[in-house]
Amino acid sequence: MMFDYSLAHWATFFTAAVLLNLSPGPDMAFILGQTAHRGVRSGFAAMLGIWSGTLIHVLFAALGLSAVLATSAAAFSVVKWVGAAYLIWLGIQALRSQGTRLSAGGSTSPAHLQTLFKQGVLVSILNPKVAVFFLAFLPQFIEAGAGSVSAQLFLHGILILIVAAFIEPPLILIGGKLAGYLSHNRNISRWLDRGLGTLFIGLGVKLATSDRM
């Protein structure tokens, strides 16, 4: 029967999916950093960008393309270095900021929201460890007789995003409250920029020095 799984299967999978979405990393740092700095609308724009990038990773895993990153040292290195450079570039841009008034009321311009969305997509796509992780993580939940391998991989990948939809929006709303308390203070904004910049540079260096899983 198509997608016929046991209760134990779902309990194990959803426990892993919740822990995965709560774990810190470039994706979560980007979402919460933008939320704390610019407000809820920016946080959601960043989140949708991250989700779009993650969906691409899921599609790649379902189609078997992520195997290229898992087996090719050259391909992994190229994507890794591009991703690390992009994170470090974002960090440098934040460090160079002179501080802006926090937009707690969500008045960020549509153009800026679109930029955050695109940045979120790139932050996710240019992290090869995410692709390799999905290739290693999702197959553990493939069961004989439950459907084609590609369909099962895609189903479980989409469910990870659905779990994220229950976890990340509340975190963004909490971050938005923080932005509300810190609004209209350029000095605090400057230090938030510096903290976010340092974080992204650190994540970029960590990615650059990482090996394939």
Average pLDDT over residues 180-185: 57
Instruction: Let me know: does 71 contact 163? Beta carbons within 8 Å.
Output: no
What's the CA gap between 19 and 46, in Å, rounded?
20
pTM of the model: 0.71
Does 26 have pLDDT greater than 70?
A: yes
Mean pLDDT of 57-79: 74
What are the residue boundaries of the structural domains of the chain, listed by start? 7-208
Structure confidence by residue, pLDDT tens digits, 87-105: 788 788 777 766 554 444 4
pLDDT score at 47: 94
Q: How many CA atoms within 13 Å lie on the side-chain side of 59?
A: 7
Residue-by-residue DSSP string for the chain: -TT---HHHHHHHHHHHHHHHHS-SHHHHHHHHHHHHH-HHHHHHHHHHHHHHHHHHHHHHHHTTHHHHHH-HHHHHHHHHHHHHHHHHHHHHHHH-------TT----HHHHHHHHHHHHHHHHT-HHHHHHHHHHGGGG--TTSS-HHHHHHHHHHHHHHHHHHHHHHHHHHHHHHHHHHTT-HHHHHHHHHHHHHHHHHHHHHHHT----
pLDDT at 44: 94
Mean per-residue pLDDT, 79-86: 77
Average pLDDT over residues 67-96: 74
- Asked whether the beta carbons of 123 and 86 are under 8 A apart, the reply is yes
- Poorest-pLDDT segment among 53-57, 77-81, 182-186, 188-192: 182-186
pLDDT beyond 70 at 183: no
Judge whether residue 212 has pLDDT over 70: no
